[in-house]
Amino acid sequence: MLPLILENLCFSAGEREIIRSISCEITAGTRTIILGPNGAGKSVLMRLCHGLLTPTSGRVTWQEADAARRARAQAMVFQRPIVLRRSVLANVLYALKLAGVAAGERRPRAENVLDAVGMSALADRPARVLSGGEQQRLALARAWALRPEVLFLDEPTANLDPAATRNIEAIIGAIHDSGAKIMMTTHSLGQARRLGDEILFLNAGRLVEQASVDEFFRQPRTPEAAAFLHGELP
């Protein structure tokens, strides 16, 4: 699947240019964190990479020619998670069924991931009445159960309390250790430091900086990134 190569990637909605000519290479093994102010285009960039949006121009290239296999190798946890009107367990089983996992293997796998995100006790509860944070954890469990090679996480801890955040960060670490590529956005600089290997810094639809976490936080190369780190970017 990897590296993922973006070439002059552009996306506009009507007159508005949302992603402006982004080119970069995203390699295997690293945890890539996309940083940037609200509206910078982080979520749209992830959707373009995941194939949910079609670029206006430019290219997204994975090292996998077969479209079905390419799709199956990825999973995404959305900024606003959508869960189905059925039980928590059934939500995970549903995803596994769509992914073509053998019937006998689905239940153990689903129970495993729910256990790992601390939701075993909620397995039979209807998912739509869970709290926002619980739904987010369910969405992560559902994506994790698919054992993707590439996992997109759009602010996966935005609605979580500190304990759940630590739990989810540990899980993201475990998913990374299992060999999956992590691509995520966050507004927590502390989290970016803790979890990230590499930073993509976006502002107003442009890729302003691509750097290792160390470099980026020690010595940002651009004034925009420096201003962002000091909380000064509008």
Partner 1 sequence: MNDISQALSAAAQLIVSADTTLVSIIALSIKVSLVAVLIAAAIGLPAGALLAIARFPGRQALVAVLNALMGLPPVVVGLLIYLLLSRAGPLGEFGLLFTPAAMVVAQAVLVTPIVAALTRQVIEDAWFEYEEQLRSLGAGTMDAALTLLWDTRFALVTVLLAGFGRAAAEVGAVMIVGGNIDGVTRVMTTAIALETSKGDLPLALGLGVVLLGIVIGLNLLAHWVKLGAQRYHG
Ligand X SMILES: Nc1ncnc2c1ncn2[C@@H]1O[C@H](COP(=O)(O)OP(=O)(O)OP(=O)(O)O)[C@@H](O)[C@H]1O
Residues interacting with ligand X, by CB under 6 A?
A: 13, 16, 18, 36, 38-44, 79
Q: Which is nearer to ligand X, 99 or 204 (CB)?
A: 204
Site string for Mg ion, 57-96 (x = CB under 5 A): ----------------------x-----------------
Does position 43 interact with Mg ion (CB under 5 A)? The reply is yes
Q: Are strands 16-26 and 4-13 parallel, antiparallel or unpaired?
A: antiparallel
Nearest distance from C-beta of residue 195 to partner 1, angstroms: 22
> What does the CA dihedral 205, 206, 208, 214 come to, rounded to 10 degrees?
50
Q: Which is nearer to ligand X, 78 or 216 (CB)?
A: 78
Q: Which residue has the tokens 């956005």?
A: 185
- For 57-80, the DSSP string reads EEEEE-S---HHHHHHTEEEE-SS
Q: Which is nearer to ligand X, 104 or 190 (CB)?
A: 190
Given the rule CB under 8 A, which residues bind partner 1? 47, 50, 52, 71-72, 74-76, 78, 81-82, 84-86, 94-95, 98-99, 126-129
Residue 31 interaction partner, one of partner 1, ligand X, Mg ion, none, beta carbon < 5-8 Å per kind: none
| Count of Cβ atoms closer than 10 Å to residue 105 Cβ | 10
Residues 12-41 that bind Mg ion (CB under 5 A): none
Q: Which is nearer to Mg ion, 42 or 109 (CB)?
A: 42
Q: Which is nearer to partner 1, 46 or 199 (CB)?
A: 46
Q: Where do the H-state alpha helices sit in the chain?
A: 42-50, 67-72, 88-98, 103-116, 132-145, 162-177, 189-195, 213-218, 223-229
Q: Which is nearer to partner 1, 31 or 47 (CB)?
A: 47
DSSP code at position 126: B
Nearest distance from C-beta of residue 34 to partner 1, angstroms: 17
Nearest distance from C-beta of residue 109 to partner 1, angstroms: 15
> How far is Cα 216 from Cα 36, in angstroms, rounded to an integer?
13
- CA 152-52-17 angle, to 5 degrees, is 100
**Spatial contact of 204 and 220, defined as CB atoms under 8 Å apart:** no
What are the residues binding Mg ion (CB under 5 A)? 42-43, 79
